[in-house]
Structure 1
Amino acid sequence: MPDRLIVINGMAGSGKTTLARPLAAALGVPLIAKDAIKEALGDAVSVSLPTRSIGALATDALWRIVGMLDGTVMVESVWLTGRDEEWFRRGWESVGAPRGIELWCSAPHEVMRERFLTRVRHAVHDDASRIDDWEAAARVAAPITGLTTLHVDTSQPVDIGRLAAHVRQTLESDTHA
């Protein structure tokens, strides 16, 4: 089981995936991304399932994969305020409740909304029919893990080397991380 967890969280369109891949590489840690699992499940299942059902399966798979890894592990997903606190807690506890850090990705509302509406994604996400849900979630979105949180402004390119150094320092010095 992992001894440290780096949680990349934020609204859909906040830049989580764009940030997570190079940050995981810079830190030399495995990245387990819920959307990659969700898309693979969407490709593998011949029956049309609601996106939230596939998302729940993907989240369960994410935590099972994380539980098989040692050391520091990065996870990337959307864990929404008022909806996902219990799901996150259960998953986190299932992998031994490791110390860690949450990177909360954000950008101005209009930037994230435009990204959400214009990005090309796998059909399993069904983004076009979920804009009302996105708007409601965006009004209350906030970090939910209870871990030490670093806020990352993703409205402009992020200096990955600098952020990686900050994450390393926080993980090494924070008794809660």
Structure 2
Amino acid sequence: MGTALSERLGLPLIDKDAILEALFDSLGCPDRDERHRLSRASDEVLYALAAASQAAVVVNWWDHRASPARLRGIASSIVEVFCECPVEVATARFAGRSRHPGHHDPVRSPDELAEGVRAMREAFRGPLRVGELVRVDTEEPLDADSLAGQVLALLEGGRPRA
């Protein structure tokens, strides 16, 4: 969704996973503890890149404790696109995807993966509420043109287009 939105809005894409996977490639990632450390480092790179850009589509699974204040500190206008789906759907999507080996996904059992998604949902419920909000039901097919129109309207100070 981030790629489709950045293309339609003509904005750069800053994606935390791309940053994290570049760190895996350059520094290695022998275990899950190192993965966690590099994940925190990639958060810092993401914030630095976002702060240095005039406008961008920034993709992350945001930490609700620290992210709102940090994002407000680097951007005067924010449109949050919040993707919604049931925990079971999110778990199935995580289990079905193939990611960089540095994520160490194969060492997680299906139960551990489901518990991880549930724990993230409980800890970080709902949107960040840092600016204008567009909710996307990701169980439905994505209409990227409509989503881009809604985001653009909000950035321009209008109401979202239907």
Q: Same fold (TM over 0.5)?
A: yes
Structure 2 residue ranges without an equivalent (≥5): none
Deviation at 1:98, TM superposition (A): 2.1
Q: TM-score, normalised by structure 1?
A: 0.76
Question: 2-side partners of 1:42 and 1:126: how far apart?
Answer: 11
Percent identity, aligned pairs only?
A: 28
Greater C-alpha radius of gyration: 2
The answer to whether the aligner puts 1:79 opposite 2:62 as a matched pair is: yes
| Contact persistence 1:24–1:31 (CA under 8 A) | yes
Structure 1 residue ranges without an equivalent (≥5): 1-18
> Is the alpha carbon distance of 1:47 and 1:113 closer, same or farther for their aligned partners in structure 2, counting shifts above 3 Å?
closer
Runs of 4+ in structure 1 deviating by more than 6 angstroms, as ranges, are none
Structure 2 residue aligned with 1:109: 87
Question: 1-side partners of 2:146 and 2:71: how far apart?
Answer: 29
Structure 2 residue aligned with 1:89: 69
The answer to whether the aligner puts 1:61 opposite 2:61 as a matched pair is: no
Deviation at 1:147, TM superposition (A): 1.6
Question: 1-side partners of 2:155 and 2:149: how far apart?
Answer: 10
Deviation at 1:100, TM superposition (A): 0.9
Question: 2-side partners of 1:122 and 1:91: how far apart?
Answer: 27
- Indicate the structure with greater strand content: 1
Q: TM-score, normalised by structure 2?
A: 0.82
Give 3-state SS (helix, strand or coil) of 2:134's partner: strand
The answer to whether the aligner puts 1:46 opposite 2:28 as a matched pair is: yes
The aligned length equals 151
For 2:28, the aligned partner's letter is S
What is the root-mean-square deviation in Å for CA atoms of aligned residues?
A: 2.1
> Is the alpha carbon distance of 1:168 and 1:147 closer, same or farther for their aligned partners in structure 2, counting shifts above 3 Å?
same
Question: 2-side partners of 1:67 and 1:144: how far apart?
Answer: 18
For 2:40, the aligned partner's letter is A
Kindly provide the CA deviation profile for residues 80-107 of structure 1, in whole angstroms up to 9, marking residues without a partner as x: 4xxx4214523542x3x32211100112
- Indicate the structure with greater helix content: 2
